[in-house]
């Protein structure tokens, strides 16, 4: 049974490609400061999802989206300098298409990054499982008798069948 290992490299390439394209779309539609934050947030979501889980990545994505939307609407003013009237004005401005379009693009970028990172993380786990299974399969094959030692062949080998030697890899020739 020769099971090909999962190509984790392909999953990681999909993740990097998605992050690049999604970041470009957010940067093109946003102001410079929120766009820079979005690029950092996309990278953070990928790292958290790869190291923890999809749930953690989704949580970081939601928090990042909230901060991105708030930063895009607030502009250069620090949040602690805004009064209650300013906060209501900010909430109403979130419904305008000029601010809603970058927010939707950022939401898609963050959610897609979490999904692609989960796919890459699952690919890493599959790769480990398959490598372990292939290693166990090779051990079993090494212990099986060769064709000259099979029962019913009439060669008289019986239970004293010879075992195949394990192939030596990465050995330099003399």
| pLDDT per residue as tens, the chain (174 positions) | 454 455 677 888 899 999 999 999 999 998 888 899 999 999 999 999 999 999 999 999 999 998 888 887 777 777 677 777 777 777 777 777 777 888 899 999 999 999 999 988 887 777 666 666 666 666 666 666 655 555 445 555 555 555 556 566 555 555
pLDDT for res 85: 78
Closest CA to 30 of 70, 87, 61, 57: 70
Closest CA to 36 of 106, 138, 130: 106
Give the burial class of 59: count Cβ atoms within 10 A of its Cβ; 0-12 exposed, 13-18 middle, 19 or more buried: middle
Cα–Cα distance measured from residue 42 to residue 23, given in angstroms and rounded to the nearest whole number: 7
Name the phi and psi angles at 61, rounded to 5.
-65, -40
CA angle 29, 117, 121 (to 5 degrees): 175
Q: Taking the model in full, what pTM does it have?
A: 0.65
Q: Which helix (H) or strand (E) holds 61?
A: helix 54-74
pLDDT for res 76: 72
pLDDT for res 165: 61
pLDDT for res 100: 84
Q: In whole angstroms, how far apart are CA 75 and each of 67, 69, 160?
A: 12, 10, 82
Q: Which residues pair with 145 in a beta bridge?
A: 163
pLDDT for res 3: 47
């Amino acid at each position: 049974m020769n099971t090909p290992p999962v190509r984790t490299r392909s999953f990681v390439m999909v993740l990097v490609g998605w992050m690049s394209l999604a970041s470009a779309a957010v940067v093109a539609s946003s102001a410079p400061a929120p766009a820079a934050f979005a690029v950092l947030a996309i990278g953070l979501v990928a790292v958290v999802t790869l190291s923890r889980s999809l749930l953690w990545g989704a949580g970081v994505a939601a928090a990042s989206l909230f901060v991105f939307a708030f930063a895009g609407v607030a502009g250069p003013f620090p949040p602690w300098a805004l009064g209650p009237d300013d906060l209501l004005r900010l909430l109403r401005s979130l419904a305008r298409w000029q601010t809603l379009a970058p927010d939707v693009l950022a939401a898609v970028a963050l959610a897609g990054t979490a999904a692609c990172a989960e796919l890459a993380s699952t690919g890493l786990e599959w790769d480990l499982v398959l490598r372990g299974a292939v290693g166990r399969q090779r051990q079993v094959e090494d212990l099986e008798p060769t064709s000259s030692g099979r029962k019913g062949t009439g060669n008289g080998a019986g239970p004293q069948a010879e075992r195949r030697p394990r192939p030596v890899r990465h050995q330099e020739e003399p």
